[in-house]
Amino acid sequence: MSLLQVQNLVVEFPSRHGNLRALDHVSFDIAPGEILGVVGESGAGKSLTGASIIGLLEPPGRVAGGQILLQGERIDHLNNDQMRSIRGRKIGAIFQDPLTSLNPLYSVGRQLVETIQAHLPVSDREARQRAIALLQDTGIPGAAERIDHYPHQFSGGMRQRVVIALALAAEPQLIVADEPTTALDVSIQAQIISLLKNICKQRGAAVMLITHDMGVIAETCDRVAVMYAGRIVEVGPVHQVIHQPAHPYTAGLMAAIPDIEVERERLNQIDGAMPRLNAIPKGCAFNPRCPQAFERCRHERPELANLSDAAYSANTQVACWLQPSSQGGVAS
């Protein structure tokens, strides 16, 4: 059974000219212990999807359709107080900039202890011991002394480890990590990636990893969901999506990654830009930028469907008329 199920999620923002649809029937699931990577260009809807799941959608944005289920129970319709009890206890969050997640006026120990006691019935002493253990588990040396330090006394990489400890404080089943390595240098990125993978193994937690970095995806994830213009266009096992992409947009993303074994004067790029919310084209949203688009792509929007090509994994889904699928696509 899936730990998280997102079914036909629709998020809209009201405007003077009507509602702008930022997420358009997004569906995916995450199994216990699995790391699902969500990738795409800026503005694709990755962070908005994560914010919807953890109940931190910025007004006037609202969930206008679909369902979000955690362990089979619906959570998208809960009020703020109900969602606050779930956030932290069942869902942990890791954000891009650790300084936005940590209060500069409180020691990291106080913040950890308060988080633990907000969700678990433990004494002050037990909470402090648990906080020290969390700091040790996330690789902070001298945790017993550093627990009383303030956020500004930690480096960027160490602050991100503190944020991960905060996310794990109440032993949640799901962690939503939104660009957790973007603000860190490459060597620290590798340590944080390794930490996330170990957490999944040891604690059985599922992770939704939102990033634009395909290197991070390749090193960390079990499966990948590729987003474009508020929709998922491809979902599949990480190695297959990277080495054998089914959607032209995914292929464009992969081709844009530098290859140290191949000499080239210029990197490949996807011509054009992602459409604005008030100017989503008819048919497939990617069709104006797609070098393989044909007439059907310009008039009929493909749904995410199981790919029927025997060369692909059975659990690969794609939204593209170029691919043979359960929705009636045709091979190019």
The segments of the chain whose pLDDT lies below 50 read: 331-332
Q: Read off the amino acid at residue 177.
A: A
DSSP bridge partners of 186: none
- Single out the residue of 289, 208, 309 nearest to residue 249, CA to CA: 289
DSSP bridge partners of 133: none
pLDDT of 309 reads: 77
Which structural domains are found in the chain, ordered by start?
33-55+85-221 (3.40.50.300), 228-259+267-318 (no CATH)
pLDDT of 328 reads: 67
pLDDT of 73 reads: 95
Backbone phi, psi, residue 271, to 5°: -65, 150
Q: Cα–Cα distance between 37 and 238 in angstroms, integer?
A: 8
Q: Cα–Cα distance between 328 and 315 in angstroms, integer?
A: 17
Strand 206-210 with 223-228, pairing: unpaired
- pTM score: 0.91
**DSSP tag of 296:** H
pLDDT of 1 reads: 76
Cis peptide before 60 (omega within 30 of 0): yes
What are the structure tokens assigned to 139, written together? 């690789």
R_g over Cα of the chain: 21
Please report how the helices 156-168 and 186-203 are oriented relative to each other, as an axis angle in degrees rounded to 10.
20
The dihedral through the CA atoms of 61, 63, 68, 70 has a sign that is: positive
pLDDT of 203 reads: 82
pLDDT of 16 reads: 86
Q: Distances from the Cα of 227 to the Cαs of 8, 40, 152, 234, in angstroms?
A: 14, 5, 35, 7
What are the structure tokens assigned to 162, written together? 């503190």
pLDDT of 332 reads: 46
Question: What does 66-88 look like in DSSP terms, one character per residue?
Answer: EEEEETTEE-TT--HHHHHHHBT
- Judged on CB neighbours under 10 Å (0-12, 13-18, 19+), 263 is exposed
CB-CB neighbours of 268 under 10 Å:
13
